[in-house]
Structure 1
Amino acid sequence: MPRAIVLTNPTAGKGRGARMRDEALPRFHGAGWRTTALTGRDAGESLDLARLAVAEEPDVLVLCGGDGMVNIGLQAAAGTEVPIGILPAGTGNDFARYFDLPLGHGAAAATRITQASPRTIDLARIGDRYFGGVLAAGFDAIVNERANQMRWPRGQMRYNLATLAELRVFEPLPYVLELDGVERRLEAMLVAVGNGPSFGGGLRITHGAQLDDGLLDVVLIKPVSRVQLVRTFPKLFDGRHVSHPQYERHRVRRVTIASPGIVGYADGERFGPLPLTVDVVPGAVRVMA
């Protein structure tokens, strides 16, 4: 009998994590799978549990939660033969969107896992930490910092208010980039590094990025007015922003990003202040999707 270890963030998506797990487990059992259900009280304990789970070499480590929970699973599964599966229960669920997984439906997502074959994909790496989606290192990262300092409201509205607050005062940032060893100095509204194509719940900032091409997509949005930034924002949902004259894209294996006072976020997690160096790790993890 195949075995799934299911690691859940029960608070993901305002409680959807626990509900999706409870929907998914009977579907695994009905398909003839054995399951072990684990719950982490916080990110640190969840990472410990993920590493212990991978050491048991199950047929799949299932991550029930949002992009943060998936990111925890990537740290444990990268470089091993244990594939991950996803029960997407968060707010953004960008990693799940890359594979067109059913969002918010535990039974359907579990069925997808039991019927799938593992797909090998790349990851991006900063130091000894991996991410699967997009590193934000500009206006988007500043919004994340402000939102994390806010106590009210909860959910997506917190980020909307943080965006409005920062937009009133935001100016282009000075950057020093090293793209596969070639240095560039410029001003930009943001720099994003994509292993995958989207962040923030479907904003396709690195539209066109492929998960298995052995390359990172580095996107620059060079200086634009606040009005242009607001007008361009809706185009991020379908990738039409790539036609903007201030958009620029590079495909590299390594990039170093420096800009004073900016903190980098990837998969919704704080990775630390710039400068940061990002490498692509081809074929780093397997995903049941």
Structure 2
Amino acid sequence: MKYFIIINLHAGGDNAKKVWPAIQRQLAASHADYQTLYTAYPNHAIELSEQILDELDTTSPADAVLIAAGGDGTLHETLLGCQRYYQAHPHDHQVPTAFLPVGSGNDFARGLKIPLKWENALADILSGATSKIINVGHYVDLDHHLEGFFTNNLGIGFDATVVHLANKSSLKTHQFFGKFSYMAAILNVIIHFQGFHAEIQPANVPEVTFDNVFLLTTTDIPYFGGGINIVPTASVFDDHLDLVVVEKPSLWQLILFISMIFLKRHLRLKFIHHYHEKELFIKTNGNRLGQIDGEELGARSYNLKLNTIKYPFWVR
């Protein structure tokens, strides 16, 4: 087996750089045949994964696995590059992707029960014998005729605003204090966030309108925000997406929401709406911040069609 490792050494507040020598030692001890490519700037993993697949198409090795080593953002870019390549080469054999979690959030790893300790995750990758088909989130921007993919979730509103404020914080890249940037951002958003208008249409179901949305998240896994179990039943092995709409809560409702999350019963609350669909349409008005797998989409209105596509993943 030949492993192609795309690593973001700055993931997890430079945690990936810290553990990389130990990863190399474990690879050597396992006599792994591998090649390493290092990301140097945002979206570089997209280019690197396309480059790898293009070279593989030329050399045609019998077995190959592409490993995204970093956080959820690194995995997102790697899979995006793979999807773009296979859209242009629809008849090529799809090379499976694996995830080595050395970032900070690692929600995808939690969702697939990939060990959060990189030593165990790497051992599972190296001992794997075959890939499994997972469902990757897919969206089409109906206004601009663009499309994209997500492994974790696509959010508009609260979570995206938290991501935006946290990314602006000077604490964001600190290995030990990085998590506090999110805590500070969450408090800021809770105090100042203004609800927004959204129209939701599950496939073959009448449109539903919400006038005071606080959080709107479409997810393919149970977790978001670094381990918050937003949809306990979500699974990448299911070809459905889960959409959670939270109408702006009062203070006591917010406290109830947080409390019920720990009990995994928050989806029963009246101001929270949950949809489990193969296809969804979402439309918002006004400039609202969005995020996809923890990466900012900017402030704009959204008119999206969402579904899933299948992709081979190297998971034990």
Q: CA deviation at 1:189?
A: 1.8
Distance in 2, Cα, partners of 1:246 & 1:232: 9
Q: Kindly indicate whether residue 39 of structure 2 is the aligned counterpart of residue 6 of structure 1.
A: no
Secondary structure, aligned partner of 2:114: coil
Corresponding residue number in structure 1 for 2:121? 109
Q: CA deviation at 1:237?
A: 4.9
- Encode CA deviations 1:190-227: one digit per residue, 9 max, x unaligned: 11101112111111223311212211111111242023
Distance in 1, Cα, partners of 2:66 & 2:169: 33
Q: CA deviation at 1:75?
A: 0.8
Identical aligned residues as a percent: 23
Distance in 2, Cα, partners of 1:21 & 1:81: 27
Q: Kindly indicate whether residue 73 of structure 2 is the aligned counterpart of residue 74 of structure 1.
A: no
Report if aligned partners of 1:25, 1:35 keep a CA contact under 8 Å in 2: no
**Aligned counterparts, 1:256-275, within 5 A:** 256-272=282-298, 273-275=300-302
Distance in 1, Cα, partners of 2:262 & 2:133: 26
Distance in 1, Cα, partners of 2:94 & 2:315: 12
**Aligned counterparts, 1:173-192, within 5 A:** 173-180=196-203, 182-187=206-211, 188-192=213-217
* Counterpart among 306, 311, 314 of residue 279 in structure 1: 306
TM-score (norm 2): 0.83
**Aligned counterparts, 1:24-43, within 5 A:** 24-43=23-42
Corresponding residue number in structure 2 for 1:60? 65
* Counterpart among 188, 192, 195 of residue 165 in structure 1: 188
Distance in 1, Cα, partners of 2:53 & 2:189: 41
Q: Kindly indicate whether residue 243 of structure 2 is the aligned counterpart of residue 244 of structure 1.
A: no
Distance in 2, Cα, partners of 1:113 & 1:234: 36
Distance in 1, Cα, partners of 2:30 & 2:303: 44
Q: CA deviation at 1:287?
A: 3.2
Report if aligned partners of 1:20, 1:87 keep a CA contact under 8 Å in 2: no
**Aligned counterparts, 1:155-234, within 5 A:** 155-180=178-203, 182-187=206-211, 188-234=213-259
- Encode CA deviations 1:218-252: one digit per residue, 9 max, x unaligned: 11112420232134225435633123222211122
Structure 1 277/285 Cα, relative in aligned 2: closer, same or farther at 3 Å? farther
- Encode CA deviations 1:83-102: one digit per residue, 9 max, x unaligned: 11111111110011112222
Report if aligned partners of 2:241, 2:308 keep a CA contact under 8 Å in 1: no
Corresponding residue number in structure 2 for 1:133? 152
**Aligned counterparts, 1:78-93, within 5 A:** 78=83, 79=86, 81-93=94-106
Letter in 2 for 1:169: H
Secondary structure, aligned partner of 1:92: coil
Distance in 2, Cα, partners of 1:81 & 1:49: 16
Distance in 1, Cα, partners of 2:72 & 2:263: 20
Greater shift after overlay, 223-232 or 246-255?
A: 223-232
Report if aligned partners of 1:17, 1:65 keep a CA contact under 8 Å in 2: yes
Secondary structure, aligned partner of 2:209: strand
Letter in 1 for 2:190: L
Q: CA deviation at 1:180?
A: 2.0
Structure 1 222/267 Cα, relative in aligned 2: closer, same or farther at 3 Å? same
Q: Kindly indicate whether residue 169 of structure 2 is the aligned counterpart of residue 142 of structure 1.
A: no
Structure 1 156/241 Cα, relative in aligned 2: closer, same or farther at 3 Å? same
Distance in 1, Cα, partners of 2:306 & 2:268: 27
TM-score (norm 1): 0.90
Unaligned runs of 5+ in 2: 57-62, 87-92, 140-145
Distance in 2, Cα, partners of 1:225 & 1:130: 33
Q: CA deviation at 1:264?
A: 1.6
Unaligned runs of 5+ in 1: none
